[in-house]
Every structure is written in structure tokens, then in C-alpha cells.
Amino acid sequence: MYEPAAAVLPDAEVAVLLEQTIAALPGPIRDVFVLSRFGGLSNVEIAQRCNLSVKRVEARLTEARRRCAALMQD
């Protein structure tokens, strides 16, 4: 059975891996992801703050999740 890398690492190592993964995201994608996940902003609030459409925010969040999942599995 396959276990993702994060499932077998201690919490501190997972935190470091997550931080590195987020830092590796391209700036515009990272900004939207951080505002959503750690800033607690809604997609509408992010769109207003970043001068983007809500659809663009959704697309960037989808891309951020895809890239994070891929990087976390490596």
C-alpha cells in the first residue's frame, strides 16, 4: 500500500516540507493560496484584494493544490 511522504514523517518534518512546498509555488499562485489557507479570506475577498476575477482565484487555488500534492508526493 502506498503512503504519501507526509504520512510517515514526524510533524516537524511535515511542517518544513509544507513550508518548502509553498515557497516553491510561483508568486501569484502562492499569494492566493496563502491568503486562502492561512489568511482565512474567501475567494471573493481574495479577488478584490488582488484585483482578479473570482474564476481566476479559483483557477490559481486549483493549480496550487495540484502543485502542492505533486511536490509532497516526491
State pLDDT tens for residues 13-47.
Answer: 878 888 888 999 999 999 999 999 999 999 999 99
Fold of 10-73: Arc Repressor Mutant, subunit A (1.10.10)
CA distance 65 to 29: 10
3-state secondary structure of 2: coil
pLDDT at 1 over 50: no
> Do the beta carbons of residue 17 and residue 5 sit within 8 Å?
yes
Q: Is the pTM of this model over 0.85?
A: no
Residue type, 63: E
Q: Per residue in 12-21, pLDDT tens?
A: 887 888 888 8
Which three cell numbers, joined as nine digits, stand for 8? 510517515
Q: Is residue 18 packed enough to be buried (19+ CB in 10 Å), middle (13-18) or exposed (0-12)?
A: middle
* Locus of grid cell 499569494: 31
Domain segments of the chain: what residues? 10-73
Residue 14: per-residue pLDDT: 78
